[in-house]
C-alpha cells in the first residue's frame, strides 16, 4: 500500500477539540445514509473523524461495517480532500443500505464536500485533483 493511501494517526481526528472545531462552522454534504462535515486544517493533508452512534446503527456489526467502508473510501480519495478535516456521521438508513450503495453514497459526498469547500473558500494551497 502506498504511503499516501495509509490511514495513520496523522490522518485521523483524535481529540475532542479537533471534532469541536469541525462541528463549530462546517461545510456540509449529506444524503439519507451519511452526513459529511468539513473545515480546513493547517496540515495540508486530509484528516478523518467518524461518528457512528448506537442510536442510528444499533448493532456493533453495522457500526463496524460503516466505519470500515468510510475508511476504505477515505483512503482512495484523500488526495482530493487535502487540507480538510472531515467528520462522517452515520444516519439511520446506513444500517439497511447494501455495501455497494453505501460506498457509492460516501464516494459521492467527497466530491460534493470538496466542491462546496472550494466555493466557500475553505481551501489550502496545493492540488486537489
Domain assignment present for 114: yes
Q: How many domains does the chain have?
A: 1
Residue numbers of the domain that contains 103: 23-120
Asked if the model's pLDDT at residue 6 lies above 80, the reply is: no
Q: Would you state the pLDDT for residue 1?
A: 45
How far CA 37 is from CA of 12, 28, 43, in Å, comes to 14, 5, 17
Q: What CATH number corresponds to the domain at position 113?
A: 3.30.230.10
Q: How confident is the model at residue 4 (pLDDT cuts 50, 70, 90)?
A: low
Q: What is this structure's pTM?
A: 0.87
Q: Quick check: 50 and 64 in contact, CB under 8 A?
A: no
Taking the C-alpha atoms of residue 63 and residue 65, their distance in angstroms, rounded to an integer, is 5
Domain assignment present for 128: no
Asked if the model's pLDDT at residue 112 lies above 50, the reply is: yes
Q: Quick check: 59 and 98 in contact, CB under 8 A?
A: no
Angle, alpha carbons 124-3-8 (nearest 5°)? 75
Amino acid at each position: 500500500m502506498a504511503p499516501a493511501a495509509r490511514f495513520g494517526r496523522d490522518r485521523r481526528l483524535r481529540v475532542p477539540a479537533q471534532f469541536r472545531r469541525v462541528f463549530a462552522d462546517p461545510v456540509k454534504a449529506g444524503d439519507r445514509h451519511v452526513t459529511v462535515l468539513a473545515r480546513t486544517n493547517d496540515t495540508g493533508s486530509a484528516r478523518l473523524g467518524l461518528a457512528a452512534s448506537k442510536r442510528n446503527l444499533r448493532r456493533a456489526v453495522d457500526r463496524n461495517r460503516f466505519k470500515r467502508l468510510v475508511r476504505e473510501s477515505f483512503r482512495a480519495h484523500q488526495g482530493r480532500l487535502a487540507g480538510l478535516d472531515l467528520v462522517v456521521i452515520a444516519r439511520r438508513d446506513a444500517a439497511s443500505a447494501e455495501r455497494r450503495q453505501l460506498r457509492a453514497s460516501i464516494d459521492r459526498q467527497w466530491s460534493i464536500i470538496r466542491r462546496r469547500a472550494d466555493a466557500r473558500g475553505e481551501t489550502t494551497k496545493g492540488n486537489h485533483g
